[in-house]
Structure 1
Amino acid sequence: APQFPRYTRAEVAQHRTPKERVWVTYGTEVFDVTDFVELHPGGPDKILLAAGGALEPFWALYAVHGQPHVLELLRDYKVGELSPEDAAPPPGDTEDPFAGDPPRHPALRVNSLKPFNAEPPPELLTQSFLTPNELFFTRNHLPVPAVEPGSYRLRVEGPGGRALSLSLSELRQRFPKHEVTATLQCAGNRRSEMSRVRPVKGLPWDIGAISTARWGGARLRDVLLAAGVGDHTGDGEWHVCFEGLDTDASGTPYGASIPLKRALSAEAEVLLAYEMNGRELPRDHGFPVRVVVPGVVGARSVKWLRSVAQKDYKGFCPSVDWDSVDFGAAPAIQELPVQSAITEPRPGAAVPAGELTVKGYAWSGGGREVIRVSGGRRWGGEMRYNVQPDTVGPIWNLRGVLSNAWHRVPVTVTR
């Protein structure tokens, strides 16, 4: 067998572009796939997402890569082996509060590591209608809690001191399973565009803080009714408050709330979800149970849920939610406006003259339908009585939230 040189992961990571050569690893082997980039059936942009790193997380997204002929093809491009010290991942830092966080897909574009916040690349976001769990955008405020499913209990507080304490199995068995396809979007999606007008406070999300999944779980309505919670007709001050198991150094949990009317509405389809795209919830997305509130800002869909309580508006649970400037004076963001963005081509791309295929997404909050997406000189979504503004300037705000102006992508036309 031929002898191959050994390389460190750092040396492999230096080869990320066709100009510098494109290297990838698979197992403990190193491959130079520069000459294959333009031949890749999924297009050069997809294979370049793995440049300088491991192929495994990307191949796992598409079953075709598991076929024997694909591995045989890859062997033709082998240039080396990983050095022994880099053949295994480095040990974690046990004193780091984030050391217990789960592994993440390397295609995610990271906005902050600790806590972990990341979005999928635009070209993968519109690859399928349902976002793969591994690519679903991640919005964390604190370290991901490690929950033992056998000892997990969800506390649901009703009026007059009445309460339920539900195990994961009781939640599954006692209440009918309901499924809903819902898109979650962070209020800060496209914040980076607002920051180009004037500086804003918050993570610099591009257009990927939005993802879609098929969620399965118990209706919040069913659980609240079982706990004795009823509708307060004519009283708009009552909310249902959620607390998560993720806590800061002082023990304060992340929390949020939604109006009681929405929580009890059969049409709103609010879930206490334990499944995501037909699989158990991943740790980054709320295992073992999270709230899913369709059509409402993602911050209300609390993960790692530990308690549900009916309270009046002035009695919110402790919250580290930073999507509003002043919790006392400003109402919490609930439903989101119409939104759309272009995912392909990417900004700065060189495109040939003539007909061009443009890909993107369009979505509207509150369960309202998108009526039209306009092309030509603009790309904007429209729902009944609500259209996207043409520029971001008039909707600029300190926190950079609800950024939904027409999305523009500059390209260079080649002939």
Structure 2
Amino acid sequence: EPKSRADDPVPGLPEYSADDVARHATKEDRIWVSYKSGVYDVTDFVDQHPGGDNILLGAGGGIDPFWNLYAVHKTPEILGMLEGFRIGNLKASDVGAATAGIDDPYATDPRRHPALKPASVKPFNAEPPLTILADNYKTPNELFYVRNHLPVPDVDPEDYVLEVEGIDGESQVLTLEDIKTKFEKVTITSVVQCAGNRRSELNKVKKVKGLEWGPCAIGNATWSGARLIDVLHHLGMDTDDPRIEHVVFDGLDLDPTGNPYGASVPAHKALNPKADVILAYEMNGEPLPRDHGFPIRAIVPGVVGARNVKWLGSIRLSAEESSSFWQQNDYKGFCPSTDWDTVDFKSAPAIQELPITSVVCSPTEGSTVKLKENKLPVKGYAWSGGGRRVVRVDVSADGGQTWVPAQLHSEDDTLHKAWGWTLWQVDLEVPPGTTELQVVCKAVDSSYNAQPENAEGVWNLRGVLNNAWHRVRVKVQAEEGGASKHKIQ
């Protein structure tokens, strides 16, 4: 871990003990925390920093164990911001006490395929290489992108129980064996995509907060399990009760205070028999891998990955949306001019269905290509949320001046329940003598939604929902006897 200013005492600042810090646990007393050798008054930090409420978990104590868990947030920028609130040094004998005797919470995480490119290690978040993503209609389990918010639970299938709570608060439980044997096993093909897919392109416009995802935080798989609606009806729950507005899912992945990752989906989606929401226990015909939710994962087709809750521990029929941080204060989109000083997360709805997107998987950015009879083979993927089928992908070799429709491949034959993605390919004509070109793709779905031309128009401070035209600049290998050189912008 890189050394930070918090590692050392700052000369000239007063010294405080852990007991001193403990006396400041509320806004009335000013909120103090310690981190490594520093003592900080974070009362104002809470209001100024995204997710600042999380730091309240350590109010009056050391935040070291929380930041070890949320290691993705331990960036130089945030550490530097925290130093601006430093008021003193922690007594030497108290330094390290907050994490004494605490094992690495990520020590039992599963092994991962070496081809996965990590965006963060603790928690583990990674995507596969772009060059192989469009090679398979079904993304292999070991190469499916991984998005974890917390350590991966190590669940014993023999001990697993799923708690299901009705609108009146009555609660029942099911074992893994119950879910596998008491309900019809159904199989669907569905994309799971992170809201931050293609965030790195937004970072080039202006810095955003979040993992540096490329265009591979997406995958397509078959999921097998029990229909959510079948499970609820088996338990005698009236899914037509007008009080039910949301279905809340909580995982078994816990933060240090025991709070789980949680999310919710509107009832009109989750409880619609035609929406194919399932409690999945298989992925591509195999038991769910641990990184993807073993033993049970909620699969909500057409909806952002953040609501497809892994390691499912409980389901609750509710009049209210999930109160979890990830539902209320994350995974929302904002105006490009909204910044961290003006953002109001309560003003925006939680992301559910994702917009139409497409990506060039081959050739890749900066690569050198060799033409065959002045043609460049291009391939990629396209997908739209909400089950809207991709009806067209337009591809350009001249930066978007002229377009050629691509050949599409999908195993979905309906316009409005197309949960899986569409792979596409096209051979583009390239003028003789071209030395550089820009390949661009844009897709259209069955509702005729189209992609915006540039990332500037969809930029937002969290770096989510980037579905701008995907652009790839490549060099063309010179051929003997070729015509005069020119570039296509």
Tell me the TM-score normalised to structure 1 length.
0.74
Residue 339 of structure 1 aligns with an amino acid whose one-letter code is T
1:200 counterpart (203, 208, 213): 208
2:114 counterpart (96, 102, 106): 106
2:469 counterpart (400, 406, 415): 406
Which runs of 5 or more structure 2 residues have no equivalent in the other structure? Answer: 1-100, 333-342, 401-439, 479-489
Q: Residues 174, 234 of structure 1: CA spacing in aligned structure 2 closer, same or farther, 3 A cutoff? A: closer
2:294 counterpart (268, 287, 295): 287
Work out the CA distance in 2 between the residues paired with 1:174 and 1:232.
22
Which runs of 5 or more structure 1 residues have no equivalent in the other structure? Answer: 1-92
- Aligned partner of 2:360 in structure 1 is 342
Work out the CA distance in 2 between the residues paired with 1:333 and 1:299.
9
Work out the CA distance in 2 between the residues paired with 1:190 and 1:309.
32
- Aligned partner of 1:299 in structure 2 is 306
For residues 265-309 of structure 1, give each alpha carbon's deviation from its aligned partner in whole angstroms, at most 9, with x where no partner exists.
Answer: 111100100000000000000000010111100000000000000
- Aligned partner of 1:355 in structure 2 is 375
Residue 282 of structure 2 aligns with an amino acid whose one-letter code is E
**SS class of match (2:346):** coil
The Cα of 1:232 is off from its aligned counterpart by 4.7
Alpha carbon RMSD of aligned pairs, Å? 1.8
**SS class of match (2:291):** helix
The Cα of 1:234 is off from its aligned counterpart by 6.5
2:155 counterpart (147, 162, 169): 147
Residue 297 of structure 1 aligns with an amino acid whose one-letter code is V
Percent of aligned pairs sharing the same letter: 53
Work out the CA distance in 2 between the residues paired with 1:119 and 1:277.
18
The Cα of 1:174 is off from its aligned counterpart by 1.0
- Aligned partner of 2:317 in structure 1 is 310
For residues 50-78 of structure 1, give each alpha carbon's deviation from its aligned partner in whole angstroms, at most 9, with x where no partner exists.
Answer: xxxxxxxxxxxxxxxxxxxxxxxxxxxxx
- Aligned partner of 1:380 in structure 2 is 442
- Aligned partner of 2:348 in structure 1 is 330
Q: Residues 134, 382 of structure 1: CA spacing in aligned structure 2 closer, same or farther, 3 A cutoff? A: same
Counting matched residue pairs gives 321
The Cα of 1:233 is off from its aligned counterpart by 6.9
**SS class of match (2:181):** helix
- Aligned partner of 2:431 in structure 1 is none
For residues 146-202 of structure 1, give each alpha carbon's deviation from its aligned partner in whole angstroms, at most 9, with x where no partner exists.
Answer: 001001000011133332200000111111111100001001000111111111111
Q: Based on CA coordinates, which of the two structures has the bigger radius of gyration? A: 2
1:127 counterpart (129, 132, 135): 135
1:184 counterpart (175, 192, 204): 192
Work out the CA distance in 1 between the residues paired with 2:192 and 2:326.
19
- Aligned partner of 2:254 in structure 1 is 247
- Aligned partner of 1:364 in structure 2 is 384
Q: Residues 231, 154 of structure 1: CA spacing in aligned structure 2 closer, same or farther, 3 A cutoff? A: closer
Residue 444 of structure 2 aligns with an amino acid whose one-letter code is E
1:136 aligns with 2:144: yes
For residues 199-232 of structure 1, give each alpha carbon's deviation from its aligned partner in whole angstroms, at most 9, with x where no partner exists.
Answer: 1111111000000110000001111223343345
Moved over 6 A (4+): none
Q: Residues 398, 366 of structure 1: CA spacing in aligned structure 2 closer, same or farther, 3 A cutoff? A: same
1:153-168 pair list within 5 angstroms? 153-168=161-176
Q: Residues 239, 113 of structure 1: CA spacing in aligned structure 2 closer, same or farther, 3 A cutoff? A: same
Q: Residues 288, 326 of structure 1: CA spacing in aligned structure 2 closer, same or farther, 3 A cutoff? A: farther
Q: Contact 1:231–1:261 (CA<8 Å) still a contact in 2? A: no
**SS class of match (1:169):** helix
Q: Contact 1:195–1:400 (CA<8 Å) still a contact in 2? A: yes
Q: Residues 198, 387 of structure 1: CA spacing in aligned structure 2 closer, same or farther, 3 A cutoff? A: same
Work out the CA distance in 1 between the residues paired with 2:242 and 2:458.
33
1:274 counterpart (272, 275, 281): 281
Residue 474 of structure 2 aligns with an amino acid whose one-letter code is V
Residue 144 of structure 2 aligns with an amino acid whose one-letter code is F
